[in-house]
């Protein structure tokens, strides 16, 4: 009887590799309040390597022009770079070029889908869009752990169409109640929208199980990949989702650029969200005909230099290796949870959830407001996030109003993880001594 070979073990980045990577990030060489910067807020926005900064500057100084509009040399160069960037991102997430729509951010991408469905419900898109139309009796499903950007657009869509929004609850630890989801997702469900990685808990949700529930019901799926695309190998085709959104500034890219992935068959029947120039074929004073996707959803002047820079970012990530980045951060996620949980009075949100996680941990310190913890750490040069992280329902379910969040990335070192753990212990001692 033959035995299959053991799976390869992916090694996390070594200390030497991380130190070399850090040389690519000028901002990491700075000081804050007299201390070397310890940047642990990559979950909010990541820092940019020189390759990304240089790509945007080179475009601006050598190829800057409007895309898809001019016949001159610069316009042709800009258009080629813009479309090459689309192809680079498509390869990065495992889909076809024409399934990537450029947006300003992930929030716009989610709203694009929501408003397109709303326009279909209003009769736009003709007979082709009929499968997308919502109304009373139809249901949208999201979860209690979502970022507000993946909750409020569905609240508004339900209000505009008469559909009902249902929310999958969390258990006492913060994990999704998949048993309730199985009952909630029915033949009335038209769309299931959920996050791949919680921006508060850091846990990686079971996409396969949620997609299977949606497929069984004949519902579409939308994946919020903002916290997974920067940190995990991502193959959207293999995940079998219908839509996915991501944000450039969380994955080493610039702000002002995001993307929507849409399954081609759906994009082809969706009516547009924003309208105007660049997304049309024929216009009269009374009506217009629209281009096929993705250009149908890219009205107006595009974010060309940002797209070029995002392509440089995904090339940089690919050169490091997404599997190795994921292993690097999984180790840090475990260290953050274990180290912070060991401090008396610290509660790490979601610490007991039995799911893999990225390098992110949010925590509550008994008797000390998260803003005070964050200010103490900032005095030491340690940058963390404080507040509700645009996830009030999740915090409310777990019985806190806010938390402090430390989030790592490929440029984070062992010493920086130790620094935030020691810093939290110091903050507790400082405030309790002051009390």
Residues that are catalytic: 390
Give residues with Cβ within 8 angstroms of 173, minimum separation 6: 350, 351, 352, 353
Both tokens of 159, joined, read 């209000």
Residue 136 Cα to chain centre, angstroms: 31
- Secondary structure of 230-251 as H, E, C letters: CCCCCCHHHHCCCEEEEEHHHC
Give residues with Cβ within 8 angstroms of 189, minimum separation 6: 139, 140, 141, 166, 214, 217, 219
Which letter does DSSP use for residue 210 in this model? H
CA dihedral 118, 120, 123, 128 (to 10 degrees): 180
Sign of CA pseudo-dihedral 330, 336, 337, 342: positive
Q: Name 36's bridge partners.
A: 31
- Strand pairing of 139-143 and 164-168? parallel
Q: Which class for 349: exposed (0-12), middle (13-18), buried (19 or more C-beta within 10 A)?
A: buried
Number of Cβ within 10 Å of residue 313's Cβ equals: 27
| 104 within 8 A of 257, measured Cβ to Cβ | yes
Sign of CA pseudo-dihedral 96, 101, 105, 110: negative
Query: Where would I find the beta strands (DSSP E) of 95-159?
Result: 100-103, 139-143
Tell me the C-alpha distance between 428 and 367, whole Å. 9
Identify which of 350, 421, 333 has the alpha carbon closest to the alpha carbon of residue 391: 350
CA dihedral 274, 280, 283, 289 (to 10 degrees): -90
């Amino acid at each position: 009887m033959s035995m299959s070979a053991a799976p390869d073990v992916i090694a996390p980045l070594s200390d030497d590799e991380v130190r070399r990577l850090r040389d690519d990030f000028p901002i990491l060489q700075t000081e804050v309040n007299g201390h070397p910067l310890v940047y642990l807020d990559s979950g909010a926005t990541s820092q940019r390597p020189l390759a990304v900064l240089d790509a945007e500057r080179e475009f601006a100084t050598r190829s800057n022009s409007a895309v898809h509009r001019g016949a001159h040399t610069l316009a042709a160069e800009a258009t080629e770079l813009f479309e090459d960037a689309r192809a680079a991102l498509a390869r990065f997430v495992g889909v076809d070029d024409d399934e990537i729509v450029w947006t300003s951010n992930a929030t716009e991408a989610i709203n694009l889908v929501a408003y397109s469905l709303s326009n279909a419900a209003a009769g736009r898109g003709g007979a082709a869009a009929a499968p997308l139309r919502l109304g009373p009796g139809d249901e949208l499903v999201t979860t209690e752990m979502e970022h507000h950007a993946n909750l409020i657009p569905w609240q508004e869509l339900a209000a505009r169409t008469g559909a009902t929004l249902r929310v999958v609850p969390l258990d006492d630890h913060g994990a999704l109640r998949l048993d309730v989801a199985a009952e909630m997702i029915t033949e009335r469900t038209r769309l299931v929208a959920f996050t791949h990685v919680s921006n508060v808990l850091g846990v990686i949700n079971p996409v396969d199980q949620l997609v299977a529930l949606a497929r069984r019901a004949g519902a579409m799926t939308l994946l919020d990949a903002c916290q997974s695309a920067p940190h995990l190998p991502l193959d959207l085709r293999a995940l079998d989702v219908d839509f996915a959104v991501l944000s450039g500034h969380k994955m080493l890219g610039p702000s002002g650029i995001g993307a929507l992935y849409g399954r081609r068959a759906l994009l082809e029947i969706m009516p547009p969200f924003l309208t105007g120039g660049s997304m049309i074929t024929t216009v009269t004073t009374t009506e217009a005909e629209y281009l096929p996707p993705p250009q149908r959803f890219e009205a107006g002047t595009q974010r060309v230099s940002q797209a070029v820079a995002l392509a440089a970012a995904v090339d940089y990530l690919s050169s490091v290796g997404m599997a190795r980045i994921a292993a690097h951060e999984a180790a840090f996620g475990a260290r953050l949870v274990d180290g912070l949980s060991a401090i008396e009075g610290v509660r790490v949100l979601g610490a007991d959830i039995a799911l893999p996680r990225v390098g992110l941990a949010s925590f509550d310190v008994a008797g000390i407001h998260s803003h005070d913890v964050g200010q103490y750490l900032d005095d030491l040069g340690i940058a963390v996030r404080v507040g509700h992280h645009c996830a009030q329902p999740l915090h409310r379910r777990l019985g806190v109003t806010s938390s402090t969040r430390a989030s790592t990335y490929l440029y984070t070192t062992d010493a920086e993880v130790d620094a935030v753990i020691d810093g939290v212990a110091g903050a507790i001692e400082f405030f309790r001594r002051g009390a």
